[in-house]
Amino acid sequence: MAAVLLLVVALVALGSGRGDAFDPNPLQDFCVADTSSKVRVNGVSCKDPAAVVPGDFFFAGVDKPGGTVSKHYAFSALPVQIPGLNTLGQSHVRVDVPPGGVFPPHYHPRASETAVVLEGSVYFGFLASYPDNRLFDKVLRKGDVFAVPQGLVHFLYNNGTEPAVLYATLSSQNPGLVLLADTLFAGALPDDLLAKTLRSGNDNHIVEIIRRKFGRP
C-alpha cells in the first residue's frame, strides 16, 4: 500500500487529483489499479478481482491537512488515493489554504471540478475560454459549492483571516494539473519566446525578473 501511496504522490503531488468525469465507461464491476503491473495501457491495468479487498476502495485522513505544503503558495493538497477508482471516472483532493495563501490559476486538462468549502472562506473563480474570457467568481463560505467546467482556468485565494479547507471532486480518475505561472516561468520555455509572449518584443528584462522569483537563474 505504501508503494501505491508513493506512486500516486509522485504522480499527483501538490494538487493533482486522479479521475476524469468523461473517462471511458467501465466494462466490469471493478478494475482496481494494479500498481505492481508492468503493463501500460490507457488508464491502469487491474489487479486480480479475487484479490480485491475493501481497503482497495478506501482512503483515510481527509479530516486533516495532508500532503506537502507548497513552498511558494502556502496551500497544501491531499489527493484521495483509492486504487478502486480506476475506471470509475472520478477523483478527489482536500485542499488547505492559510490566510493570505493562494492556489494560483491552473486547470485540469481532462476533467471538470466541483469544490465545497469545509472550513473558512475563499475567493474562488474560473475564466471562460477565448474570446469570452469572462470571470465567474464568488466569495465562498463554509458550505458553499462552486463548479468549474472541463479544462477552464480557475483559482482560489484565501483573503480572509481563517484557514480555509476545501474538498474538490474531479470528473476523471486522472484529471491532470497545469499551473499557468509555473508553466510559463518555472519551466523550460525559452526566454525569447517568453519575452514575446509578455509583449516585450526582444527585451528579456521582465522575463528575467520574474524567472528569478521562480528559481530560474
Q: How many angstroms separate the CA atoms of 114 and 171, rounded? A: 9
Instruction: Please report how close the Cβ of residue 68 comes to a copy of itself at its closest, in angstroms.
Output: 11
Q: Which long-range contacts (CB under 8 A, 24 or more apart) does 26-31 make?
A: 26/87, 26/88, 27/87, 28/87, 30/56, 30/57, 30/84, 30/87, 30/88, 31/86, 31/87
**Side chain identity at 128, as an amino acid letter?**
A
- Contact flag: residue 132 with a copy of itself (CB under 8 A): yes
Instruction: Please report how close the Cβ of residue 101 comes to a copy of itself at its closest, in angstroms.
Output: 8
Q: Contacts with a copy of itself in 140-169 (CB under 8 A)?
A: 141-153, 155, 157, 159, 167, 169
Instruction: Please report how close the Cβ of residue 167 comes to a copy of itself at its closest, in angstroms.
Output: 6
Q: How many angstroms separate the CA atoms of 159 and 174, rounded? A: 30
- Contact flag: residue 68 with a copy of itself (CB under 8 A): no
- Contact flag: residue 216 with a copy of itself (CB under 8 A): no
- Contact flag: residue 70 with a copy of itself (CB under 8 A): no
Tell me how many residues contact a copy of itself (CB under 8 A): 137
Residue of 5, 36, 162, 191 interacting with a copy of itself (CB under 8 A): 5
Residue of 69, 137, 208, 216 interacting with a copy of itself (CB under 8 A): 137
Q: How many angstroms separate the CA atoms of 17 and 9, rounded? A: 10
Cα angle value 78/179/168 (rounded, 5°):
35
Residue 65, helix vs strand vs coil? coil
Count of other CB atoms within 10 angstroms of residue 15: 22
- Contact flag: residue 69 with a copy of itself (CB under 8 A): no
Q: Contacts with a copy of itself in 26-45 (CB under 8 A)?
A: 26-31, 34, 37, 39-45
Q: Which is nearer to a copy of itself, 48 or 161 (CB)?
A: 48
Residue of 35, 57, 163, 204 interacting with a copy of itself (CB under 8 A): 57
Q: How many angstroms separate the CA atoms of 173 and 117, rounded? A: 22
Tell me the per-residue interface mask from 83 to 122 with a copy of itself, x by CB under 8 A, - otherwise.
-xx-xxxx-x-------x-x-xx-xxxx-x-x-x-x----
DSSP string, 126-144: EEPPTTT--EEEEEEETT-
Q: Contacts with a copy of itself in 169-198 (CB under 8 A)?
A: 169, 171-174, 176-190, 192-193, 196-198
Q: Which is nearer to a copy of itself, 132 or 217 (CB)?
A: 132
